[in-house]
Amino acid sequence: MKALLLENIHTNGVRLLTERGFDVVTMPGALGEDDLIEALQGVDVLGIRSNTHLTPRVLAEADSLKAVGAFCIGTNQIALDEATRRGIAVFNAPYSNTRSVVELAIGEIIAMARHLTDHNAKMHAGEWVKSAKGSHEIRGRSLGLVGYGNIGSQLSVVAESLGMQVYFYDIVDKLALGNARRSGSLEELLAEAETISLHVDGRPANRGFFGAEQFAQMRPRSLFLNLSRGFVVDTAALKDALDSGHVAGAAVDVFETEPKKNGQEFTNPLRGTPNVILTPHVAGSTEEAQQNIGSFVAGKLADYVESGSTVLSVNLPPVQAHRGDGRRITHLHQNVPGVLASINTLLAGYGTNIVGQTLATKGQVGYVVLDIAGELDPAAIDALRSMPETIRVEVH
């Protein structure tokens, strides 16, 4: 089995896949569509981060691809519907770098409140300006979280432990942790909090949702952070709010357009703006997080190829498939009535002895794992692949 890992996947992931019998090829950066199509020929497992985009065209050309691992949180760079239609399992790391993102957010809030970037720049320029003017503690200040998922909720707990009053807004009803208070609307949150931090997902509906109108609704001289997705913020509107002084500082880690590789020039309207912290999409990039992500996602990929386990798959029904003796068949199919009965009847016709069977469904697809005792007639597999409902069949 061949694995291709792009974008500097941590060596933990490379080592785990190699130990599990994969022939691993690594590349340091992301690939464009044409180069990616060429690189995927003969590849069974692909590992990417956020800068590699798996379009429907790429997936259509990847005939041997069985699984994709997003060694990050988001999967909006992957055409998930197309991957599902072609029977390609997708895994990610929804929890492994949460703490790293939270710690960066806290550090940036403090840095902006104390104008550390401005002090640092002046010191490097040889200027000694010792003053308390404009510098504040974050204790007693209010933090507004737009999105209260894994990262937002953990940031809520840490910020509260530092003495901040936390407000949050989420389109899904979420239980407040500690003394955090839920805001009834985004407008209410923006009016309440002195610092606003975005922690929303990459769904298309979130594109450009935070713009001039939302910045105008924020409290005067407030702080703003975006460590979620670059395309959710109107950068020009943020620049205007900073230049006018309405927003006193900003920290941005994600951008709608980012360089594909290290060393390429980064261009953005926010460059050179005072009290703005710009970081190159590194909120989750700590050694600890990348070690955890490397091991976690690589393990999920190997488990899927070896045993058909789809636990924590983003797009396939979840089946915890512990490997026993004998042969194993996995069958991904359209979720319509009667498929399981048809599979059992077909295999019985070839004298196949099924000793274990697990079925799960998710949306439009179903996934069944069958353990077989004794001989397995190759013609039975051909017959399974010929069923009109079949998306993908694998023998493990």
CATH architecture of 98-278: 3-Layer(aba) Sandwich (3.40)
Determine the Cα–Cα distance for residues 51 and 192; give it in Å rounded to an integer. Answer: 35
Which residues does the annotation mark as catalytic? Answer: 229, 258, 281
pLDDT at 203: 85
- Residue 161 in 3-state DSSP? helix
- Residue 339 in 3-state DSSP? helix
Domain 1-96+287-314: top CATH class: alpha beta
The pLDDT profile of the chain, 396 residues, written as one tens digit per residue, is 999 999 999 999 999 999 999 999 999 989 999 999 999 999 999 999 988 999 999 999 999 999 999 999 889 899 999 999 999 999 999 888 899 999 999 999 999 999 999 899 999 999 999 999 989 999 999 999 999 999 999 999 999 999 999 999 999 999 999 999 999 999 999 999 999 999 998 888 899 999 999 999 999 999 999 999 999 999 999 999 999 999 999 999 999 999 988 889 999 999 999 889 999 999 988 999 999 999 999 999 999 999 999 999 999 999 987 766 779 999 999 999 999 999 999 999 999 999 999 999 999 999 999 999 988 999 999 999 999 999 999 998
CATH architecture of 324-396: 2-Layer Sandwich (3.30)
| CA 348 remoteness from chain centre | 42
Contact (CB, 8 A) for 235 and 269: yes
Determine the Cα–Cα distance for residues 2 and 23; give it in Å rounded to an integer. Answer: 5
pLDDT at 80: 96
Determine the Cα–Cα distance for residues 12 and 298; give it in Å rounded to an integer. Answer: 8
Name the segment(s) of the chain with CATH classification 3.30.70.260. 324-396
Half-sphere CA count of 272, side-chain side, radius 13 A: 4
Residue at 209: amino acid letter: F
| Helix-helix angle 150-161:98-113, to 10 degrees | 50
pLDDT at 95: 85
Determine the Cα–Cα distance for residues 213 and 253; give it in Å rounded to an integer. Answer: 22
pLDDT at 261: 81
Which pair of tokens denotes residue 64? 């041997």
Name the segment(s) of the chain with CATH classification 3.40.50.720. 1-96+287-314, 98-278
Backbone angles phi, psi at 16, to 5 degrees: -65, -45
pLDDT at 322: 75
Determine the Cα–Cα distance for residues 339 and 331; give it in Å rounded to an integer. Answer: 10
Those residues whose C-beta lies under 8 Å from the C-beta of residue 104, and which sit 6 or more positions away, are 227, 253, 279, 282, 283
pLDDT at 326: 79
pLDDT at 375: 87
Determine the Cα–Cα distance for residues 391 and 396; give it in Å rounded to an integer. Answer: 17
The single residue listed with the structure tokens 């992301």 is: 30
Beta bridge partners of 175: none
Please give the C-alpha separations between residue 264 and each of 49, 51, 259, 267, 280, in angstroms, as whole numbers. Answer: 17, 13, 6, 10, 11
| CA 26 remoteness from chain centre | 20
Contact (CB, 8 A) for 255 and 92: no
pLDDT at 348: 95
pLDDT at 325: 74
pTM score of the predicted model? 0.79
